[in-house]
Chain A
Amino acid sequence: MQLIINDTPQQFAQGLTVSELLEALKQPALGVAVAVNAQVVSKSQWSQTRLQDADRITLFKVVAGG
């Protein structure tokens, strides 16, 4: 299936969860937040949230700031 990750289309296996996506992208769990189709996905739901073809995933990370 195709996912749009931060505006870039990428191919992944069907039925991927948010947790599995972050693992595949080598992202740590801490300091990262995920929105699927502009809805924030709670970290407690990452392992149960299955992604669908054409989902728009937005990944955010914590950075330095004032």
Chain B
Amino acid sequence: MLTIANTQFSSRLITGTGKFASGQSMQAALSASGTELVTLALKRLDLVQNKDDILAPLQELGVRLLPNTSGAKTAEEAVFAARLAREALGTNWLKLEIHPDQRYLLPDPIETLKAAEQLVKEGFIVLPYCGADPVLCMRLQEVGCAAVMPLGAPIGSNRGLLSKDFLDIIVEQSQVSVIVDAGIGAPSHAAQAMEMGVDAVLVNTAIAVSPNPVAMGRAFKQAVSAGRTAFEAGLGSVQKNAEASSPLTGFLEHL
């Protein structure tokens, strides 16, 4: 079971709700993925065009909602967005994300730490999106974050675990759950992360933009489950030289 802030989840796959072609497609794909925790964003209400209801299909699925602070470029903006999200959804769970740079959407470590500290004091359950920096992850843990969410690669890039070696250190050191967020573009990436011992992965783009989001949601569910089972079973050690799997007894040498 995945445990975050004393709440247990049977699924270790957290999903985003962005980029789906329709609410129906999102609902079907998330259902197939088995996810129990999904992210949402906030925007200014458009009083003229305001038809899409994201909440109804998610309420039908019975998933827990995790609003994010996407759009915030500073700690101050993120704290404001967090307070809005708490009122909008009646939850103190929060995915903290502060990425001032539009090209790579990389999280600002200084603003993220500053906002995390403030939000924990205000009673939020803070899950910060951050760089795969082991020192920063420890600092985020020390200020009271309920998990850390280091990136595999830039958001939506589908490039997989570019940060693998640093994720290994984060997993080794962390006392709170480690959730690899961003960059996971294929079920094999998710399986790899789970095999390394991360507690969960967050996937959005790879499922949402697939020509068949339902099948892709299912594929991620299977990959996360397989990766976790492999981690728990224990992987064999990696070495340079071969080690025979069959007995090398030389029984053919004297023919």
Query: Chain A residues in contact with chain B, CB under 8 A?
Result: 5-6, 8, 25, 27, 30-35, 40-43, 58-66
Contacts and interface: CB of A to CB of B under 8 A. Distances in A.
Contact of B40 (A40, A41, A63): A63
Given A31-B54, A66-B18, A61 B43 contact: yes
A66 B67 CA distance: 9
Given A33-B85, A60-B43, A62-B54, 15 more contacts: A6-B47, A31-B55, A31-B89, A32-B45, A33-B84, A40-B83, A40-B87, A42-B87, A59-B47, A61-B45, A62-B41, A62-B42, A64-B26, A65-B39, A65-B70
B204 interface: yes
A33 B83 CA distance: 9
A1 to B, nearest CB: 18
Contact of B68 (A60, A61, A66): A66
B127 to A, nearest CB: 13
A6 B44 CA distance: 8
A10 to B, nearest CB: 9
20 contacts: A5-B47, A6-B44, A31-B88, A32-B45, A34-B87, A35-B80, A40-B83, A40-B87, A43-B87, A61-B43, A61-B50, A63-B42, A63-B52, A64-B16, A64-B19, A64-B41, A65-B16, A65-B39, A65-B70, A66-B204
Contacts of B20: 64
A27 B50 CA distance: 9
Contacts of B54: 31, 62-64
Contact of A35 (B19, B26, B84): B84
Q: Which of B39, B47, B70 has the most CB of A within 10 A?
A: B47
B205 interface: yes
A62 B52 contact: no
Contacts of A59: 44-45, 47
Contacts of B40: 62-65
The 5 closest A-B pairs by CB, nearest first: A65-B41, A66-B16, A66-B204, A33-B84, A59-B45
Contacts of A8: 47
A32 B88 contact: yes
- Interface size class of chain B, counting residues whose CB lies under 8 Å from the partner chain: 35 or more
A59 B44 CA distance: 6
A66 B83 CA distance: 18
B137 interface: no
B90 interface: yes
Nearest to A38: B80
Interface in B1-44: 16-20, 26, 39-44
A11 to B, nearest CB: 14
A30 to B, nearest CB: 6
A19 B19 CA distance: 32
A65 B47 CA distance: 20
A31 B16 CA distance: 17
